[in-house]
Amino acid sequence: MINQIITNIKQDLSQILTPDQMEALSRTLNKHLPMLTVEKAAVESIKNDMLPLFIAAKRVEGCSEKSLRYYESTIRNMLETINKPECQIGTEDLRGYLDTYQRRGTVSKVTLDNVRRILSSFFAWLEDEDYIVKSPVRRIHKVKTGKTVKETYSDEALELMRDHCDNTRDLAMIDLLTSTGIRVGELVKLNRSDLDFENRECIVFGKGNKQRKVYFDARTKIHLQRYLSERTDGNESLFVSLLKPYERLQISGVEIRLRKIGRELNFNKVHPHKFRRTLATMAIDKGMPIEQVQQLLGHQSIDTTLQYAMVNQNNVKESHRKYIG
């Protein structure tokens, strides 16, 4: 390709330049034009590495490996489907992709908007890094999702679950989830040394490995101390399996245990995150400032806290009677 271009240039100028000038032109073209091929190859190589570079940037920002895997699979699926270089992907390409993504299966609007947000983050990063001039996701607006009222646990349900525990570990685990509202991923990372029984508090590592302090009540303190006093293993983990070799309890282990308790009590969908939602709702219902609830739950955005906190309909009814009549 380069040789053909050099030949064409020389032919076009052969009637104008002297033989010495033609020789000088030939040397100059042969020296500089091949560099364009090298530079183009380097640019293409960078383009092909954009996704790994983006993932590396998000890792530096503190995203968890679980989130990074979700980001990578979501973006890679889009790139393979559209089958264009990132710099050539336009708004209509992405709208078409999202439309097809939604219609090909039972995808909720929440999931669809999560995909849109991830793609927006990727193309915004490309724009910030000057790989593209403008993000094609800018003109794709947030997917409207209907507000669903998610259930929380009643006081009675919490007491029934406590009474149904046949070991001190499960009882302590339910109490800690109830009184702190921590994520299940934070629960399983806890070590014995993270607990401060005197002040009834502990340090947890949340999303992005961000550290925060949470607090537990007196009942939780008593049940945790009882559970730890019965332990005979030397594992530093706060919660371990009930059987040898007493390894750190994993997220799946917590979920399986809670589902089992729920089935035996004929409760609908018992899972760890529901304790978190219950705490947020209860705290706001009792007048705790939303900013403090945000801090307690470790939310970066207060909007997330508001999504967790549901308004108690009985309080709405009472307020209506009080203020309106």
Q: Verify whether residue 273 is a known catalytic residue.
A: yes
227 CB-near residues (< 8 Å, 6+ apart): 168, 169, 171, 172
Q: 160 with 173: CB under 8 angstroms?
A: no
Give ∠ CA 163-164-168 in degrees, rounded to 5.
80
Cα-flanking dihedrals φ and ψ of residue 177, to 5°?
A: -65, -40
Catalytic residue check, 207: yes
Q: What is the DSSP secondary-structure string of 118-172?
A: HHHHHHHHHHHTTSSSS-TTTTSPPPP----------HHHHHHHHHH--SHHHHH
Q: What are phi and psi of 12, to 5 degrees?
A: -65, -30
Out of 169, 257, 276, 277, pick the active-site residue: 276
Paired tokens of 294: 């945000």
Rg value, the chain, Cα: 30
User: Which of the following is catalytic: 47, 59, 95, 273?
Assistant: 273
Residue 183 a catalytic site member: yes
Q: Which of 47, 59, 207, 212 is catalytic?
A: 207
169 noted as active-site residue: no
**CA 1, CA 40: separation in Å to the nearest integer?**
13
Q: What is the 3-state secondary structure (H, E, C) of 299-317?
A: CCCHHHHHHHCCCCHHHHH
Catalytic residue among 58, 116, 169, 183: 183
For residue 130, the tally of other CB atoms under 10 A from its CB is 7
- Catalytic positions are 183, 207, 273, 276, 299, 308
